[in-house]
Amino acid sequence: QMIRGIHHVGINCRDLDRMTRFYCEAFGFRPVDEGFAWADEPVMDHIVDVKGSASKGIMLRANTCYLELFEYSAPPPLLDKPLRPNDRGYTHFCVDVTDIANDIEFLKTCGMTFNERDFVDVGHVKTIYGYDPEGNVIEVQQCAPDNDFRLERVAG
């Protein structure tokens, strides 16, 4: 097969340092290196398909998942708000937890918000969408033991 798996999820941030702290504290991500930055680099403009781009960023890792955070300084974004679940494009990623009630309380202490809502048990999964400190959507889920989409089915 050509596809071996999803390597990373990229998130554009307003405040890279704040978001790095959040994802490390909330989900156990750790930086894989010192980060990166570019400006006035034609090859980077070509790669990201944005003329006049300038950004700094960092790659984070937790288990088999990588998260790449960017803070662009140029050009200015067309949209100031993050995408909502019903907007077009990539709108969320999901973390799988083992104790959703306790994990949600912990995530709140790290800066996630859930708009005064609690998770819903729909049988095969307990789930809720929440928001990181910049409003990006993160789904928190706990799979039931008989759920066919448990992470254990793809581990190893």
Tokens 């729909």 belong to residue: 122
pTM for the predicted model, two decimal places: 0.83
The pLDDT of residue 152 is 72
Q: Are 104 and 111 in contact (CB under 8 A)?
A: no
Write the pLDDT tens digit of every residue in 62-118. 988 899 999 999 999 998 888 889 988 888 999 989 899 999 999 999 999 999 999
Cα 14 vs. chain centroid, distance in angstroms? 14
* Residue 154 pLDDT exceeds 70: no
Q: Are 1 and 59 in contact (CB under 8 A)?
A: no
* Residue 41 pLDDT exceeds 60: yes
Write the pLDDT tens digit of every residue in 43-57. 999 999 999 999 999
